Structure formats: structure tokens, C-alpha cells
């Protein structure tokens, strides 16, 4: 009797096991042939298991992680359709440091009819810049320099003497030039920006946002001369009264990079910025899968002697962009 009872129990367990397997198979088959959505009794759409998985995969593929960024502020924009792909406190006020010089350069290009014009750099401007430890391109007091060479001096080595030399030549003084800068900012919709100088040297009232700097860069890149200068790795100026062989400039961004390659593309150009208050900043341009993107980051810890966390952030972001045509 006991043997029969045990035999019956084993048979019952086998039947349960088979039924369980059949139920699992049935659920899988139903999931495969269900429409994309199941309608609940309350007429609400419920995602099918298959669609939920696809949506999750799609989100994971296209998501740009910002948690690992050193910069407290960042914005990534696709220039093809003006889509914002990353936004990290993009409207929060920052100090733009030398990202300011993007405005200095584009205004000079637009306001100088002859970029071959020779511009005199007066001696009195240099002493103040030396005392403030401003970044310099390498021109000397009383040097006469072609306007286009000063523009390269602004964007590549981030020269403060180049910025003020252009400002004086165009507007008569840096103060007058700053008025032009603020008018242009307003015209471009940079509503959270106010400039007090052409160099980006720290001032409490000299501020912007990464969103506003992105608007400025997007505008400036439409100018062929600006784009050519901005994307140059190095440049040698024409002969001057003090430099018969010219001066060779290197981009402050490219000289800190071992490679410009990112996944399926390259970093094409960039403008760095740093002051103690602004920390490390970068406004860069990349081409990935044939499309262009601009990324502006600000307020990354470090300085000019540490690892360049602004540049590391650019690689982190750009390496997350790639196209997936399956979805």
C-alpha cells in the first residue's frame, strides 16, 4: 500500500512538472504573437513583454550618462537638427573664462573688412595683462600684426593681448568693444550672459551659461573663417617687425590630447577656458557618423597643471554617441 502511494505521488509530480513546462511555453508563444500593445479592461495601454524589452534596449543604447562627468554643467547639441542630447544644469550661471574669446573672435571677423590689416599692439596694454597672469599668444609691445593672425592668437593659444588688440582696433577701446559683445549676445538670445571684458579674465559681473555659449558657438561655426581658425591644430603667423619668422601657435585643446579620435568620428576643434573661479571649461565640435555635434562643459575641478578633466569629459560624452538604425 505504501509503495503504491509513493508511486502515485511520483507520477503526480511528473504530471505537474510537465504541465508547468507547457504553461511556460504557452506564455512565450503568446508573447511572440501578441500585438505591440494589450488593451486592459480600463482601456489603458499596457506594453507587451517584447516591446518593454525593446524599449529598454533602445533607451540603454541611446542614453548618454552624465553621472561620470567631472563638469557640473554641460550641454550637447546635434547641429543637424538642433536637438539637445544632453543637458546638465545648462542654464545655471557659470564663469566662462576664455570661452569668452569665441565672441571676441567672431565679432572681429564680422567687423574687420580687411583681415590682412596690420594692427599695432600698444605697450601700455601689456603691463596689466602681465600683472594679471593672463594667457598670452606671444606678441610683444609695439608689434604690428595682421588682423587674421590676432584672430588665430585669440582662439588657438588664447592670447589676451590678441583680444585687446582687436578690441582697440575695432571699437577704440576694450570697453566699447564689450558693448558690442553684449549687443551681439542679446541678438543671439544669450539671455543669461553678461560680458565685462574681451579676454574672460575673472569678474563677478562677467558670466554666462553653457547653453548660451552653445548658442554662440553654433552661430560662429556658420562663418567659414571662424570655423577654419577654430578647427586648426597649429598655425604660423606672417612675419612681423619683431618676429621675422612669425610665431607658431598650437591649439590649447589639441596639444593636451593624445588623439582626436572618438567612436566612429573625430573631435574637430575646441576652445578651452580656465580661471581659478571658472575652473576647467571647454566648447568643442565633433563629427560622428557624418553628423556634427557641439559640447560645452564648465566648472570641472582641476587646473592647467592637473589632468584636463574638461577634455576627458568631451571624450566621455562623444564616445557615447553612435547611430543604431535597427530602431
Cβ within 8 Å of residue 269, ≥6 positions away? 227, 230, 231, 232, 251, 253, 284, 285
Give yes or no: 101 in active site.
Answer: yes
Nearest to 159 by CA among 190, 189, 119: 119
Strands 279-288 and 234-236: unpaired
- Using the structure block, give the residue that is written with the C-alpha cell 574672460: 200
- Is 78 exposed, middle or buried (CB count within 10 Å of its CB: 0-12, 13-18, 19+)? middle
Task: Indicate which residue of 88, 101, 184, 215 is catalytic.
Answer: 101
Task: Indicate which residue of 71, 90, 135, 158 is catalytic.
Answer: 158
Cell (9 digits) for 180: 558690442
- Using the structure block, give the residue that is written with the C-alpha cell 599692439: 121
Q: Specify the DSSP class assigned to residue 207.
A: B
> How far is Cα 263 from Cα 64, in angstroms, rounded to an integer?
14
List Cβ<8 Å contacts ≥24 apart for 261-268: 262/286, 262/288, 262/315, 262/318, 262/319, 262/321, 263/288, 263/318, 263/319, 263/320, 263/321, 263/322, 264/288, 264/289, 264/322, 264/323, 265/289, 265/318, 265/321, 267/314, 267/315, 267/318, 268/231, 268/292
> How far is Cα 157 from Cα 141, in angstroms, rounded to an integer?
17
Task: Indicate which residue of 71, 89, 90, 98 is catalytic.
Answer: 98
Q: Residue 97 to residues 49, 100, 269, 299: CA-CA distances in angstroms?
A: 50, 6, 18, 10
Give yes or no: 158 in active site.
Answer: yes
Helix (H) or strand (E) holding 170: helix 160-171
Q: Which residues are catalytic?
A: 98, 101, 158
Amino acid at each position: 500500500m505504501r509503495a503504491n502511494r509513493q508511486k502515485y505521488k511520483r507520477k503526480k509530480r511528473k504530471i505537474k512538472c510537465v504541465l508547468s513546462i507547457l504553461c511556460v511555453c504557452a506564455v512565450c508563444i503568446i508573447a511572440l504573437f501578441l500585438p505591440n500593445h494589450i488593451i486592459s479592461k480600463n482601456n489603458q495601454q499596457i506594453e507587451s513583454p517584447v516591446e518593454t524589452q525593446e524599449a529598454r534596449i533602445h533607451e540603454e543604447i541611446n542614453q548618454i550618462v552624465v553621472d561620470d562627468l567631472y563638469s557640473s554643467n554641460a550641454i550637447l547639441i546635434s547641429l543637424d537638427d538642433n536637438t539637445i542630447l544632453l543637458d546638465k544644469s545648462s542654464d545655471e550661471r557659470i564663469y566662462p573664462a576664455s570661452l569668452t574669446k569665441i565672441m571676441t573672435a567672431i565679432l572681429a571677423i564680422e567687423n574687420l573688412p580687411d583681415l590682412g590689416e596690420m594692427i599695432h599692439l600698444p605697450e601700455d596694454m601689456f603691463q596689466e595683462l602681465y600683472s594679471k597672469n593672463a594667457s598670452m599668444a606671444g606678441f610683444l609691445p609695439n608689434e604690428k600684426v595682421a588682423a587674421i593672425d590676432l584672430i588665430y592668437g585669440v582662439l588657438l593659444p588664447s592670447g589676451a593681448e590678441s583680444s585687446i588688440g582687436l578690441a582697440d582696433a575695432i571699437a577704440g577701446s576694450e570697453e566699447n568693444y564689450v558693448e558690442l559683445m553684449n549687443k551681439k549676445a542679446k541678438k543671439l538670445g544669450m539671455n543669461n550672459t553678461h560680458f565685462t571684458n574681451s579676454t574672460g579674465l575673472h569678474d563677478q559681473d562677467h558670466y554666462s551659461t553653457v547653453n548660451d555659449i552653445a548658442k554662440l558657438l553654433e552661430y560662429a561655426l556658420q562663418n567659414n573663417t571662424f570655423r577654419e581658425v577654430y578647427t586648426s591644430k597649429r598655425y604660423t603667423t606672417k612675419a612681423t617687425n619683431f618676429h621675422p619668422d612669425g610665431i607658431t601657435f598650437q591649439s590649447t585643446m589639441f596639444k593636451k590630447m593624445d588623439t582626436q579620435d572618438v567612436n566612429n568620428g573625430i573631435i574637430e576643434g575646441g576652445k578651452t577656458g580656465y580661471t581659478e573661479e571658472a575652473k576647467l571649461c571647454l566648447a568643442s565640435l565633433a563629427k560622428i557618423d557624418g553628423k556634427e555635434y557641439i559640447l560645452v562643459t564648465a566648472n570641472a575641478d582641476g587646473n592647467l597643471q592637473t589632468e584636463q578633466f574638461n577634455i576627458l569629459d568631451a571624450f566621455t560624452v562623444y564616445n557615447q554617441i553612435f547611430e543604431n538604425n535597427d530602431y
